[in-house]
């Protein structure tokens, strides 16, 4: 490949696509008073087993020191609670409140609508292939060990 154009660089295209998709998602989330980051945090909290802040940090790839402020903000808004883990009292279990669960459900619907809009140019099969490719690329690389 002698002098490839930027437009052919799959790395650049991947980036651009991610940036444009985030933009559409944030437009849909803004009426809820959310940006994508706290939305991802809420979605990450909604697991069968409660996670500590550090586990959440690793899962989402957000620095633990940044996570402190994000959880602070969500706690101030009444969407999550910090509950001391009884077996390891250094940890907090981060839990969704009732309001948090309701907000997350609304947010999920908004994001699903954004994704429908963004992926409209693909057929159902193409979109399935795309999502499958992402799964293969992330396998073994994420979530982190």
Binding stretches for a second copy (CB under 8 A): 1-7, 9-22, 25, 36, 40, 43-44, 46-47, 59, 61, 105, 108-109, 111-112, 114-115, 118-119, 121-122, 126-127, 129-131, 133-139, 141-143
Nearest distance in Å: CB 68, a second copy: 20
Q: Classify residue 78 as left (phi > 0), alpha (psi -120 to 50) or beta.
A: left
Tokens of 48: 């069968």
What residue 68 binds from a second copy, DNA, none (CB within 5 to 8 A, per partner kind)?
Answer: DNA
Q: Which stretch binds DNA (CB under 7 A): 40-48, 55-63, 105-113, 119-127?
A: 55-63
- For position 116 contacting DNA by CB under 7 A, the verdict is no
What residue 32 binds from DNA, a second copy, none (CB within 5 to 8 A, per partner kind)?
Answer: none
Comparison of 62 and 101: residue with beta carbon closer to DNA: 62
Residue appearing with tokens 């947010």: 107
Distance CA 21, CA 38 (A): 16
Q: How far is CA 95 from CA 43, 57, 62, 68, 118, in A?
A: 11, 15, 18, 14, 31
Nearest distance in Å: CB 21, a second copy: 5
Cα within 13 Å of Cα(102), Cβ side: 6
């Amino acid at each position: 490949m002698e002098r490839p154009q930027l437009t052919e660089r799959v790395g650049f295209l991947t980036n651009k696509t991610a940036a444009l998709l985030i933009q559409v998602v944030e437009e849909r989330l803004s009426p809820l008073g959310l940006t994508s980051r706290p939305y991802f945090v809420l979605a990450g909290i909604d697991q069968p087993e409660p996670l500590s802040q550090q586990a959440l940090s690793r899962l989402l790839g957000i620095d633990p020191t940044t996570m402190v402020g994000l959880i602070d903000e969500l706690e101030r808004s009444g969407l999550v609670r910090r509950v001391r883990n009884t077996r390891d009292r250094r940890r907090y279990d981060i839990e969704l409140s009732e309001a948090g669960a309701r907000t997350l459900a609304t947010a999920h619907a908004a994001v699903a609508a954004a994704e429908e809009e963004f992926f409209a140019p693909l057929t159902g099969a193409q979109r399935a292939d795309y999502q499958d490719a992402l799964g293969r690329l992330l396998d073994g690389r994420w979530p982190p060990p």
